[in-house]
């Protein structure tokens, strides 16, 4: 047996950031200096001043920045330009290394920082051309958006000029900026910090779109499995229909009427969910591409894309999602709405979010979670409305199989020239690398960036031509999403909120809404393609123009709800709407286990009385496994034969288990935690045994799609998937269920001892927030400098407290509720929030990880907004003067 590793390394970038030799010696030198006392100065010299008077050129009047004990700033300015200039300055104070790294990622310039190991990363990023698209967007934006971005950039550059020496057109990368620059200098002494530009901020929105991009991995995996020999029905079995009758969609009624969505419109037809055809639709692969070599090439492409920097998520994995819900005031104890949101993203140190309040005499009053490097507030509230995001996850990417001959591509019965451009990758410590990027009318040839597919393309296959894979993605069309963010920050009611949402193109997000007047609502925005042929599920033939996109779903036709009769809206990446809706959004939804649990908790609490803020906080930390009630009875009914003492003790854990998954480090949690440990070990082993046909490269990750796959298999005891390929016998369902339990008991005995009652879910389900750059350097002392401590956590995949893990890699957490926010629209100062780590990006700073334990245990901080409450909590006052 080969159980999942107990402490696996997560599959996040930059695992290729490995160094040796002089680099290691340099690290040891730094540590030696630390021991001599110089290290304290090296660390603390970058800590920003939070309580003095500083100069910020360009201001028209003084700006006040009040910080509380957690380093959360509220900024007070006279004009919007001053406000965003100060926001840029404050972001740079606390998070500039993160900002600098991100802009190198979005520009495909990571190898300029870290050397030749990152050329492959840059090849993919330059091929897609995120930065080029961002540059094209600049001229499309509203004047006030450009002004905000420019003022923000001026603030960042003012901080750079005040903190380090100017060198030509840039700045010296000294340790005064951040400790990371000291470490980087040991390897790359020639690095220069460039001035911040407005396009640096715009390009970050492309990274956001990439990490929330939808079903790209599913599309590639389906094609790889087909090329590798599985049949189409076998593959379709691995992608079941959304269970609309068991797990409610977001919008439970309505349809398009006369070119607009009407929430009260009668359903024209009963049935399943939109985007889930009963018969296969679309194109797959031609016979010449159904080869082991092409399958391996597609897996190589998928691996290359998965290794790209996941600045927000784990590259489209099942763990990336979010929860949000909004409750009408007629159901709350305050008489006004309550809005909750917790986006599920990759864990990192520092966390993805920066908490902040922005207050302007010009009328802009907004507070919430921001992205360092981007002006404004992403999720939060102003004085009138509050909003939250979850990933809508529509199918906005299509993979096109192209017939390529040199720099020509087949279109119908003729050949067209591709567009080409040359890109020069500058490499720290090495020679420049020049690449050629080729694009068809669908988009860039990703196969050119993949070493495996480049080799296949070098061998002609179809009448002297070869195959390439092109990417069609909405985010590669210039758009105005930046306008949407500022319009949302200023919106004062439902109509202005919807007008802002209409500008929100990529990534498409479910947006929940509440206002101080008592209204609640939901809107699904985004640029979502319309296809003449195919459903976006399988590769499309690039040579057939019938598979091209014909347009985008009009905003007015996208589902929305205002003040629903039931009194609440729940979004958790489930299906948006049933098949009465005439447009196709996707067929690759989340499967609704989190959303249905939230529905059930709301209904249960409403039946007992009015909902409170405390009720909502407890709901956000709910740890119930939604599939265990289905699988546990099947496990217990499988014949086992004579059991050992270990096996008997393990099986007894499941008797009376409440299906909760606590870490197990608090009194009263022990029994549930032991049962959760055993159950999840069974689940990992069950998936490994059942789906051995998929090979190591396609092993199930165990998310809620696999809940539905296994649910169906439990009803078919003789399904071929139950049979092990490695044995001459023909196994059936009960054979695999029994073996999975035996293997799980032995695995846990080896890892945690032979007393099942002592097993703990938190001992295996661990979280280590890692620095996005040096946190996986492979050098222990460096990782110690920047990473947070490893801790056991509650929750799990497809659970409301969504601490995701991948069954193909182990039990370590790879996705988390990156923040939790609860808004009280009766009294905004009674709102609550928390983030994964802390507001500071400086290692060893008091605010680097001061929210982590609160987050881990389901607690929150006061979310202050009014000036009097902000003043009362302030521990430091920074004054910025012209």
Residue 751 CA to residue 156 CA, distance in Å, equals: 49
Residue 217 CA to residue 241 CA, distance in Å, equals: 18
Token pair listed for 668: 């009263």
Among residues 378, 373, 374, the alpha carbon closest in space to that of 100 is found at: 373
Q: List Cβ neighbours of 360 (8 Å cut-off, separation of 6 or more).
A: 76, 77, 78, 79, 80, 82, 83
Q: How far is CA 172 from CA 85, 95, 190, in A?
A: 22, 17, 10
Which of 322, 346, 794, 840 is flagged as catalytic?
Answer: 322
Token pair listed for 534: 């195919």
Among residues 511, 504, 510, the alpha carbon closest in space to that of 526 is found at: 504
Buried b / exposed e across 508-531, counting CB within 10 Å, b at 16+? bbbbbbbbbeebbbbbbbbbbbeb
Residue 443 CA to residue 438 CA, distance in Å, equals: 9
| 402 contacts 467 by C-beta, under 8 angstroms | yes
At 543 the three-state DSSP class reads: coil
333 is in an annotated binding site: no
Phi, psi of 4 (to 5 degrees): -60, 145
- Does 322 participate in catalysis according to the annotation? yes
| 133 contacts 475 by C-beta, under 8 angstroms | yes
Phi, psi of 611 (to 5 degrees): -80, 145
Residue 270 CA to residue 250 CA, distance in Å, equals: 17
219 is in an annotated binding site: yes
Residue 248 CA to residue 242 CA, distance in Å, equals: 10
Q: List Cβ neighbours of 393 (8 Å cut-off, separation of 6 or more).
A: 212, 214, 215, 321, 508, 573, 586, 588, 589, 590
At 456 the three-state DSSP class reads: helix
DSSP type of residue 195 = P
DSSP type of residue 778 = S
| 268 contacts 255 by C-beta, under 8 angstroms | yes
| 122 contacts 111 by C-beta, under 8 angstroms | yes
At 54 the three-state DSSP class reads: strand
The string of DSSP letters for 76-120 reads: EESSHHHHHHHHHHHHHHHHHHHHHHHHHHHTT-THHHH-GGGHH
Residue 213 CA to residue 217 CA, distance in Å, equals: 9
Residue with tokens 């055993």: 678
| 763 contacts 750 by C-beta, under 8 angstroms | no
211 is in an annotated binding site: no
At 881 the three-state DSSP class reads: strand
Residue 74 CA to residue 87 CA, distance in Å, equals: 10
Among residues 60, 107, 105, the alpha carbon closest in space to that of 86 is found at: 60
Residues shown for the chain: 882
Q: Catalytic residue numbers?
A: 322
Show binding-site residues for Ca(2+). Answer: 219, 395, 398
């Amino acid at each position: 047996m080969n159980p999942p590793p107990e402490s696996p390394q997560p599959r996040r970038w930059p695992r290729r950031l490995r160094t040796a030799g002089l680099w290691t010696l340099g690290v040891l030198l730094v540590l030696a200096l630390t021991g001599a006392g110089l290290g304290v100065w090296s660390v603390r010299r970058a800590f920003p001043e939070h309580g003095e008077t500083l100069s910020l050129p360009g201001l028209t009047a003084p700006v006040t920045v009040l910080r509380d004990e957690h380093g959360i700033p509220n900024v007070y300015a006279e004009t919007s330009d001053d406000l965003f200039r100060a926001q840029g300055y404050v972001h740079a104070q606390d998070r500039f290394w993160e900002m600098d790294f991100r802009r190198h990622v979005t520009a495909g310039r990571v190898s300029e920082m870290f050397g030749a190991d990152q050329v492959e990363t840059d090849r993919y990023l330059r091929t897609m051309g995120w930065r080029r698209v961002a540059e094209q967007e600049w001229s499309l934006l509203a004047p006030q958006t450009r002004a905000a971005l420019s003022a923000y950039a001026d603030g960042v550059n003012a901080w750079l000029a005040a903190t380090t020496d100017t060198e030509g057109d840039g700045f010296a990368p000294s340790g005064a900026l951040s400790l990371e620059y000291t470490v980087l200098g040991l390897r790359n002494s020639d690095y220069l910090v460039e001035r911040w530009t407005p396009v640096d901020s715009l390009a970050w929105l492309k990274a956001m779109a990439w990490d929330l991009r939808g079903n790209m991995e599913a599309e590639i995996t389906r094609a790889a499995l087909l090329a590798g020999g599985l049949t189409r029905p076998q593959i379709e079995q691995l992608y079941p229909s959304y269970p609309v009758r068991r797990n409610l969609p977001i919008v439970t009624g309505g349809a398009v009427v006369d070119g607009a969505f009407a929430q009260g419109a009668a359903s024209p037809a009963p049935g399943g969910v939109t985007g889930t055809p009963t018969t296969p639709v679309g194109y797959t692969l031609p016979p010449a591409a159904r080869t082991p070599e092409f399958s391996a090439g597609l897996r190589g492409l998928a691996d290359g894309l998965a290794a790209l920097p996941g600045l927000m998520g784990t590259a489209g994995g099942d763990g990336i999602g979010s929860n949000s819900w909004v409750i009408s005031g007629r159901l709350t104890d305050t008489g006004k709405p309550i809005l909750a949101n917790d986006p599920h993203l990759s864990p990192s140190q520092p966390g993805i979010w920066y908490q902040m309040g922005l207050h302007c005499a010009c009328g802009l009053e907004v507070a919430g979670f921001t992205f360092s490097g981007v002006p404004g507030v992403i999720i939060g509230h102003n004085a009138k409305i509050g909003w939250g995001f979850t990933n809508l996850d529509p199918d906005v990417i299509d993979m096109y199989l192209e017939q390529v001959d040199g720099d020509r591509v087949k279109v119908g019965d003729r050949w067209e020239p591709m567009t080409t451009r040359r890109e020069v990758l500058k490499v720290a410590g090495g020679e420049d690398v020049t690449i050629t990027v080729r694009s068809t009318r669908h988009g860039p040839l990703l196969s050119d960036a993949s070493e495996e597919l480049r080799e296949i393309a070098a061998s002609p296959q179809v009448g002297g031509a070869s195959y390439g894979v092109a990417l069609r993605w909405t985010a590669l069309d210039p758009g105005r999403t930046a306008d949407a963010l500022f319009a949302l920050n200023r919106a004062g009611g439902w109509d202005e909120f919807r007008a802002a949402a209409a500008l929100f193109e990529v990534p498409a997000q479910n947006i929940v809404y509440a206002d101080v007047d008592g209204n609640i609502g939901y809107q699904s925005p985004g640029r979502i393609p319309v296809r003449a042929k195919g459903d976006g599920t399988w590769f499309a033939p690039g040579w057939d123009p019938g598979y091209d996109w014909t347009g985008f779903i009009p905003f007015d036709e996208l589902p929305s709800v205002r003040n629903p009769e039931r009194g609440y809206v729940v979004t958790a990446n489930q299906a948006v709407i049933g098949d009465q809706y005439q447009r196709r959004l996707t067929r690759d939804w989340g499967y609704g286990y989190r959303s249905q649990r939230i529905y059930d908790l709301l209904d249960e609490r409403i039946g007992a009385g009015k909902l409170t803020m405390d009720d909502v906080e407890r709901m956000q930390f709910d740890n119930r496994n939604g599939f265990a009630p289905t699988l546990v009875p099947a496990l217990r009914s499988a014949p086992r034969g004579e059991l050992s003492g270990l096996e008997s003790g393990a099986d007894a854990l499941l008797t009376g288990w409440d299906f909760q998954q606590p870490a197990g480090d608090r009194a009263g949690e022990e029994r549930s935690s032991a049962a959760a440990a055993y159950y999840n070990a069974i689940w990992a082993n069950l998936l490994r045994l059942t789906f051995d046909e998929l090979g190591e490269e396609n092993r199930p990750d165990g998310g809620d799609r696999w809940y539905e796959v296994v649910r169906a298999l439990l009803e078919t005891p003789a399904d071929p998937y139950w049979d092990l390929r490695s044995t001459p016998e023909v196994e059936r369902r009960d054979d695999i269920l029994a073996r999975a339990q035996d293997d799980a008991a032995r695995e846990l005995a080896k890892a945690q001892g032979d007393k099942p009652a002592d097993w703990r879910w938190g001992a295996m389900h661990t979280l280590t927030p890692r620095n996005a750059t040096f946190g996986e350097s492979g050098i222990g002392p460096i990782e110690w400098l920047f990473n947070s401590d490893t801790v056991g956590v509650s929750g799990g995949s497809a659970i409301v407290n969504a601490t995701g893990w991948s069954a193909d890699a182990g039990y370590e957490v790879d996705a988390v509720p990156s923040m939790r926010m609860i808004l009280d629209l009766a009294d905004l100062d009674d709102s609550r929030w928390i983030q994964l780590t802390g507001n500071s990006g400086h290692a060893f700073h008091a605010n680097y990880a001061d929210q982590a334990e609160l987050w881990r245990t389901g607690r929150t901080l006061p979310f202050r907004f009014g000036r009097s409450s902000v003043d009362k909590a302030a521990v430091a006052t920074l004054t910025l003067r012209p």
